[in-house]
A and B are shown apart, each in its own frame.
Chain A
């Protein structure tokens, strides 16, 4: 447990910065969704509660509801194909979490699983699978939870960036163009469209935390990034 606690800052940073175009696609789904359901059990339910809080702040006005997996599975709310269901499960094998995904799929909802690496949730179980961290040895989950929080936060910020760019931007394309010298000189330019994979991530992470969007949303994203970075020792 101690090892997992101490590995959290690095894992958090990794989840926020690893190349993954799914975040752009999923944030588009969130922005289009009529209702967003966040589902989980135990610490995953707590991640869902945090998720509602943070998504409500960053994603366009949405009806975001949190359910425990047991409740969602046994007392399933009215679902439509315009709804999106996000199931958070560290290991993926808990039957009510899996059943929640299944019920959402059967109702025609868009489904997103936030789960650990090597989870039992496989391709086809959900429209998108966003992974967090390797499975923890300790049953008292710490880094798994932080990983889920990082995924939710990245989704929220990506959605906000998309909104700021009129729905065309992604997490990656919102970044300031890296000068490639590793010193992180700010150019104030953003890269759009065809950005080479290796060019997405400036070597100087400081730049990444300051998207410098030229609109009213920029400051809140910048502040959030800065505060996270300072607080989590990234």
Chain B
């Protein structure tokens, strides 16, 4: 969810963050399996097999998959291998990868990752009207 938020804030893309089972149970039906990109984060632990299985399924359907994992089990492309650690601490490592990815996407799309759209008059107006 944090990665999706960072993508939204820096690149202004539509992004969603789900736990794998939540995604399978509905939201994935609204996905464009050809054009959307799935970033699958699988740390060794209880959810590992389920996420791996989902990533493999997406690949078999020719969907674009980026995998962040601590256990490389295949020679698939677009796999970011991170250090293996306890599942409960894994967000601390995966987070940094996803932050860097968000930054890279923003730069690639020609967006200023720091601006929060403050250079867009409509959003400036929004900030004036809605107090945080």
Give B91's nearest chain A residue, CB to CB.
A50
B115 contacts partner chain A, Cβ-Cβ < 8 Å: yes
Known: A5-B99, A8-B96. A224 touches B89 (CB 8 A): yes
> How many residues on chain B are close to A (CB under 8 Å)?
28
B66 contacts partner chain A, Cβ-Cβ < 8 Å: no
**Which single member of B5, B88, B93, B99 contacts A46 (CB below 8 Å)?**
B5
Q: How far is the CB of A227 from chain B (nearest CB, A)?
A: 4
The chain A residues found within 8 Å of chain B, CB to CB, are 1-2, 5, 8, 12, 42-43, 46, 49-50, 53-54, 57, 93-95, 137-140, 142, 145-146, 149, 223-224, 227-228, 230-232
In the bound complex, what is the Cα–Cα distance between A138 and B10 (angstroms)? 10
17 A/B residue pairs, CB under 8 Å, sorted by A = A1-B10, A5-B96, A5-B103, A43-B5, A50-B91, A94-B132, A138-B113, A139-B114, A139-B115, A139-B116, A140-B102, A140-B113, A146-B96, A223-B86, A230-B85, A231-B83, A231-B85
By the criterion CB–CB under 8 Å, are B132 and A46 in contact? no
By the criterion CB–CB under 8 Å, are B132 and A1 in contact? no
> Interface majority SS on B: helix, strand, loop or mixed?
helix
Q: How far is the CB of A92 from chain B (nearest CB, A)?
A: 11
In the bound complex, what is the Cα–Cα distance between A46 and B4 (angstroms)? 11
Known: A2-B103, A5-B99, A46-B1. A95 touches B83 (CB 8 A): no
